[in-house]
Every structure is written in C-alpha cells, then in structure tokens.
Amino acid sequence: MSVAKMHIRKGDKIQVLSGKDKGKKGKVLSTVPRKKKVLVEGVNIIKKHAKPTQKIPQGGIREMEAPIDASNVMLICPSCQQPTRIFRQSLADGKRVRGCKKCGELIDK
Ligand SMILES: [Zn+2]
C-alpha cells in the first residue's frame, strides 16, 4: 500500500463524521499515513498530565489533540465549502491531484 493513497493531506480543512467530535470542522495539522490517521486542530482533545518542572512544580494538565482515523473525516472542498468525496486525476506533467466530486474543481493546484 502506498502512503500516497490517503485522501487527506496536511493543511486540508475537514469535517468529522462520527465520534464525540462529530460535525466539528478543523485544519489537518499532520497525517500518519502508516496508521491512516490524521491530527486535526481542535478535534479529539485529550488531557495529558504534565510532569512537574522547575517552572511548574505542581505539574499540570496539558490539553492536546490526539490523532483520529482518516476514515472518520471528510474533506471540505476549498471551492464549494462542502464536505465531499474526492476523485483523482493525473495532470499532463504526471502530477496526481485531487478533485471535488461535488463541484468538480481541483483541490490540489
Ligand atoms: Zn467543491
């Protein structure tokens, strides 16, 4: 399986399809193609206990995003602003780009 098969890329805007953050929208901070997971800004926030440091001797709780399954998110088309499935197309120079199935616009320029 090629890692290029992920339909979501870093920087995409997505909508969450299921789970506790269903309906939430956010920007993809990073992808983990090996695990088919994505890290999305403001989605799947977990609380992590931070070890005490010299600055914060009592320790603390840090909130951070945890990755979610890529199959749980849908790309929001930058052209029509709709959550959409994608199609793939090869350009003349061989570059593979994604397109929006709703409006037909190419997502990767
Ligand atoms: Zn579109």
Q: State whether 39 and 12 are in the same domain.
A: yes
Neighbours of 26 (CB within 10 A): 21
Neighbours of ion ligand 1 (CB under 5 A): 77, 79-80, 100, 102-103
Which of 29-33, 45-49, 55-59, 83-87 has the lowest average pLDDT?
A: 55-59
The mean pLDDT value of the chain amounts to 92
Task: Give 87 Cα–ligand 1 centroid separation in angstroms.
Answer: 11
- Across 66-77, b (16+ Cβ under 10 Å) vs e yields ebbebebbbbbb
Rounded Cα distance between 27 and 65, Å, is 12
> Domain tally for the chain?
2
pLDDT of amino acid 38: 97
Q: State whether 15 and 55 are in the same domain.
A: yes
pLDDT of amino acid 4: 53
Q: What is the pLDDT of residues 80-107, one digit of tens each?
A: 999 999 999 999 999 999 999 999 999 9
Task: Give 92 Cα–ligand 1 centroid separation in angstroms.
Answer: 22
Q: State whether 66 and 85 are in the same domain.
A: no
Task: Give 79 Cα–ligand 1 centroid separation in angstroms.
Answer: 5
Kindly state the percentage of the chain with pLDDT values over 90. Answer: 79
pLDDT of amino acid 1: 46
Q: What is the pLDDT of residues 10-23, one digit of tens each?
A: 999 999 999 999 99
In this predicted structure, the answer to whether residue 3 has a pLDDT above a threshold of 70 is no
Task: Give 107 Cα–ligand 1 centroid separation in angstroms.
Answer: 8
Q: State whether 20 and 48 are in the same domain.
A: yes
Q: What is the pTM of this model?
A: 0.84
Q: State whether 86 and 64 are in the same domain.
A: no
Range of the domain at 105: 81-109
Q: State whether 35 and 70 are in the same domain.
A: yes
